[in-house]
Structure 1
Amino acid sequence: MGSPPIRVPRWPAAAPEGPDFAAIRAEFDVPEEFPAEVVAEAERRAAQPRLPELDATDVPLVTVDPVGSRDLDQAVHLAARGYGYRISYAIADVGAAVDPGGPLDAEARRRGQTLYNPDRRIPLHPTVLSEGAASLLPDQLRAAALWTIDLDADGEPVRVDLRRARVRSRAQLDYASVQAQADAGTLPDPLALLPTIGTLLQERAAERGALELGTPDQEVRATPDGWALVFRGDLPVEGWNAEISLLTGRCAAALMLDGGVGVLRTLPPARPEDVARLRLLAPALGVDWPADVSPRAVIAGLDPGRPGHAAFLEEAVTLLRGAAYTAFEGALPDQPGHGGVGAPYAHVTAPLRRLVDRFGTEVCLALAAGRQPSPELRAALPELPALMAASDRRTRDVERAVVEATEAWVLRGREGETFPAVVADAEDGRGTVVLDDLAVRGRCTGEGLRPGTRVRVRLEQADVGTRTVRFALAGPA
């Protein structure tokens, strides 16, 4: 879809034996420690917070994040309003703590985003801000950009208000606990309407043609026996919560497009040739695709637990090629939409963890107040796409290297063993397989590899140093 929730691992008190993740970060030039002048500025800002005049501490906001999170960007309150709903969504006001052109700003531009590794997080801002004075921690007075979005009974926005305000979160909640409360019908009052509103927003997304693949993420976790790999899917509550963020991003994009200035997260529509290729692949993978049904509708009906469907979802990633950041002023972008969201969309809800969100929020605050963004803010916008592209590329490279090193680690010494697996993709005797029991993806060779089929594969190589795992087809499952 658009901007999925940022995964936050639970870091172990002491890292178990395993790959050298610090060496991977060094290989990709990840900046780990902050320069002294950056830390000094962050400490000054933390000691003297800039709080807005508007007092919204009467709104009983709560945060919902993975267990153990400290960098809390968003706090929410949901309420019924006449024949519709009101969403109060407070976003950490990082712009109140970071001066354009100062040391904090320069370092954030160098980093681009918070990087989450299995052994530690490498934050965008010093933790005195990102996990302290700027974070929407419970029972603390904080500066926020407060979005108030009124929806009609169908979940369509009918009024949007944005302004700086001081807020106070009432509680820090986590996804698993909130899901248990939703299942039991005991959600706390600020979130009681989350299933209703989240479902409405998902229905509207389906009508727009928004595309959600729903493929499980490959995640590295600490266990008593060392690092392990798991496949993790979203809980329903995570999907509902993500819809609130996506709605806010759509409202932000509308403000920017109406005001003629901003930076959008864009994704072109799926290319016809990619859709045609998937349609040809569908029958072989046991996927029913009637002629008059959209790709989104087909994908929504798939079961990732079925090997053929899982392989189809792996291939469907090609429909989401070409995501970018698009800055503009004056002339509107030729392609302002986001194919995953099904509408124009902007990143504004994670400023503690992603550079572009601070600038997007500042643009929206100015436009919502009826004025143009400052010259220094407008001058920064054209630089953001390249900064974010470089940061995204480094993050992808590091995350992939971490997973590949862990795959090799968990398989080391088992060369020659065979494993049950599913073929995810294959062409000309080469492909990718997913092991049944170890959440490992690896390259495989062998005539007869066909996407969506169950096979047995023999481990040929597991080299932690080169992060290489290779399999050979051993026969049918």
Structure 2
Amino acid sequence: MCDVDFQAVRDEFALTEVFGPAEQREADTAADRFAIGRRDRADLPLVTIDPPGSCDLDQAMYIAADSAGYTVYYAIADVAALVTPGGALDLETRRRGQTYYLPDGSVPLHPLSLSEGAGSLLPQQDRPAALWEIRLDRAGEVVSARVDRARVRSVARLDYHGVQADWESGRLHPSVEALADVGRLRAAWGRAHGSVDLRLPEQEAVRGDDGWELRIEPRTAFDEWNAQISLLTGMCAAQLMLRAGVGVLRTLPPADAKTVTALRRSAAALGFDWPESTSVGEFLDGVDVSTPRGLAVMADAVSLLRGAGYAPFDGAVPEQPLHAGVGAPYAHVTAPLRRLGDRFATEVCLAVSASAPVPDWVRSSLVQIAETMHATDSLSAKVGRACIDLTEATILAGRVGERFAATVMRGDQVFVEQPAVIAKCAGDPPEGRAITVRLARADVAARKVAFDYQPDMSPAGVKAQDAENV
């Protein structure tokens, strides 16, 4: 039985699910501040697609296809309608920044009565939303985009794996029948514009029959197509902001020539043929990460996506507005129940789309919001890593000295499939090879796991592995 106490992580990073009485009261009594004048779009057959069991439902979609292209209706929870600027809850969410997800539960940005109640796009419930209407041509290019306040009503709550299974069996919900087509078109658009998608293993700690275990989060085709709708909306939001000269972008500078050259050198050493005419994104899109060398080159490609940040602006637009991972300017607007910045960015877009002034409470906060998001993104990554590290060390405690089959992702890092562990490895293991490693450390208190590699650890096995990797 593997029992992991994640409360230690909460305590270390001062995370609490509890809200003060004033914040809780505001959430419990939240009412739509913009009910008068809100469009009634309860006629749209919107559906949500989220992990199983999720109740903080930020987005609902419906995609209509016709002879000229597609219309994407994307409803986003209208959190600004439920949180009073300057109120106790507003101030507390500015401090928290975002929801933090731990394996045994979340530390929410808003009280659950709002994030899983009045603000959540739960099925068969009238809800206030910021409704995006994005028109695409048959090639997936954006023809027009606008957003306004609407009352919506989701007709179904779907989950990722269920949607994938429905698609494979030919019984997909009619509201998302066109999602595969639009997702493919937008993914192709991204590749043509230099987007970079790193398909690395994502660990998750889950509670099984015998306690906590580590698994690799599977990525389905529908996961990726669903993500394309969020990316599309964020790109449209960025364009609205840039045209108006006010907003906050999520940015990532393009990798410099030196970094790309280093990746090309690494790919060549691993045996890849990478023509000069093929872009980074196109090359990586064709890499099979189920192979040792594919996993290794994808791990090396992490160097391309460094320097992410937020760029608030009011007047002059940012000198570097691009998000290189997306291949275009981009903004976070699709998860306001879970990210503070999305509420403010959405308010900018609503104002611009309506040819109205951006509210002063939004304009005056853009720099602060960007700083908060930058800091809390870092904290969120630390919390997530701490939970995985703790689970790895707990599962492997008492197994020091045992040997495991592993794939070398980089010269100092290996991926062990069973249990699903990614950790440091001493001994200069050969990058992009399937090898055998020895567990050298599993320290629960320090949350540290380490392996070591010796070329002569299993000569026959290494010889066979070398042949397999050719």
TM-score range with shorter-chain normalisation? over 0.9
- Once the two structures are superposed, residues 406-428 of structure 1 have per-residue CA deviations (whole angstroms, 9 ceiling, x without a partner) of 111111111111111111111xx
Q: Distance in 1 between matches of 2:432 and 2:375?
A: 34
Match of 2:416 among 435, 441, 457: 435
CA contact (8 A) 2:77 2:121 kept: yes
Match of 2:7 among 22, 38, 44: 22
CA contact (8 A) 2:267 2:297 kept: yes
Partner of 2:155: 170
Partner of 2:59: 74
Partner of 2:72: 87
Matched, 1:192 2:172: no
- Once the two structures are superposed, residues 110-130 of structure 1 have per-residue CA deviations (whole angstroms, 9 ceiling, x without a partner) of 111111111011111000000
Q: Which runs of 5+ in 1 are unaligned?
A: 1-15
Matched, 1:253 2:233: no
Match of 2:90 among 84, 97, 105: 105
Partner of 1:362: 347
- Once the two structures are superposed, residues 215-269 of structure 1 have per-residue CA deviations (whole angstroms, 9 ceiling, x without a partner) of 1211111111111111123110111111111111111001000001000001100
- Once the two structures are superposed, residues 353-399 of structure 1 have per-residue CA deviations (whole angstroms, 9 ceiling, x without a partner) of 10100000000001111022122210000111210111111111111
Q: Distance in 2 between matches of 1:137 and 1:340?
A: 31
Q: Distance in 2 between matches of 1:347 and 1:221?
A: 28
Letter in 2 for 1:443: K
Q: Distance in 2 between matches of 1:451 and 1:233?
A: 24
Letter in 2 for 1:64: I
Q: Distance in 2 between matches of 1:336 and 1:283?
A: 32
Letter in 2 for 1:264: L
Matched, 1:374 2:396: no
Partner of 1:3: none
Partner of 1:5: none
Matched, 1:294 2:279: yes
Matched, 1:449 2:429: yes
Matched, 1:464 2:444: yes
Q: 1:349 to 1:329 in 2, by over 3 A?
A: same
Q: Distance in 1 between matches of 2:453 and 2:73?
A: 54
Match of 2:35 among 51, 69, 72: 51
Deviation at 1:187, TM superposition (A): 1.2
- Provide the TM-score with structure 2 as the length reference: 0.95
Q: Distance in 1 between matches of 2:272 and 2:107?
A: 41
Q: Distance in 1 between matches of 2:430 and 2:150?
A: 57
Residue 255 of structure 2 aligns to a residue in which SS?
Answer: coil
Matched, 1:132 2:117: yes
- Once the two structures are superposed, residues 429-453 of structure 1 have per-residue CA deviations (whole angstroms, 9 ceiling, x without a partner) of xx1111132111121211x422112
Matched, 1:272 2:257: yes
CA contact (8 A) 1:62 1:75 kept: yes
Q: How is 1:173-252 mapped onto 2 (pairs within 5 angstroms)? A: 173-252=158-237
CA contact (8 A) 1:460 1:471 kept: yes
Q: Distance in 2 between matches of 1:73 and 1:211?
A: 25
Matched, 1:117 2:102: yes
Letter in 1 for 2:186: L
CA contact (8 A) 1:21 1:119 kept: yes
Q: Which deviates more, 52-61 or 263-272?
A: 52-61
Partner of 2:468: none
Residue 298 of structure 2 aligns to a residue in which SS?
Answer: helix
Partner of 1:282: 267
Q: Distance in 2 between matches of 1:436 and 1:71?
A: 32
Residue 30 of structure 2 aligns to a residue in which SS?
Answer: helix
- Once the two structures are superposed, residues 331-368 of structure 1 have per-residue CA deviations (whole angstroms, 9 ceiling, x without a partner) of 01000011011011110000001010000000000111
Deviation at 1:108, TM superposition (A): 0.8
Deviation at 1:49, TM superposition (A): 7.0
Q: 1:471 to 1:175 in 2, by over 3 A?
A: same
Match of 2:409 among 418, 424, 435: 424
Letter in 2 for 1:51: A
Deviation at 1:67, TM superposition (A): 0.5
CA contact (8 A) 1:325 1:384 kept: no
CA contact (8 A) 1:45 1:97 kept: yes
Q: Percent of aligned pairs with the same residue?
A: 48
CA contact (8 A) 2:2 2:213 kept: no
Q: Distance in 2 between matches of 1:299 and 1:126?
A: 41
Deviation at 1:50, TM superposition (A): 5.1
CA contact (8 A) 1:49 1:133 kept: no
Q: Which runs of 5+ in 2 are unaligned?
A: 466-470
Letter in 2 for 1:301: G
Partner of 2:306: 321
CA contact (8 A) 1:414 1:459 kept: yes
Residue 239 of structure 1 aligns to a residue in which SS?
Answer: helix
Q: Distance in 2 between matches of 1:294 and 1:257?
A: 27
CA contact (8 A) 2:119 2:127 kept: yes
Match of 1:154 among 139, 147, 172: 139
CA contact (8 A) 1:286 1:309 kept: no
CA contact (8 A) 1:85 1:150 kept: yes
CA contact (8 A) 2:2 2:395 kept: no
Q: Distance in 2 between matches of 1:76 and 1:49?
A: 23
Q: Distance in 1 between matches of 2:13 and 2:445?
A: 15
Deviation at 1:168, TM superposition (A): 0.5
Deviation at 1:287, TM superposition (A): 2.2
Letter in 2 for 1:328: F
Q: 1:468 to 1:409 in 2, by over 3 A?
A: same
CA contact (8 A) 1:71 1:131 kept: yes
CA contact (8 A) 1:19 1:464 kept: no
Residue 180 of structure 1 aligns to a residue in which SS?
Answer: helix
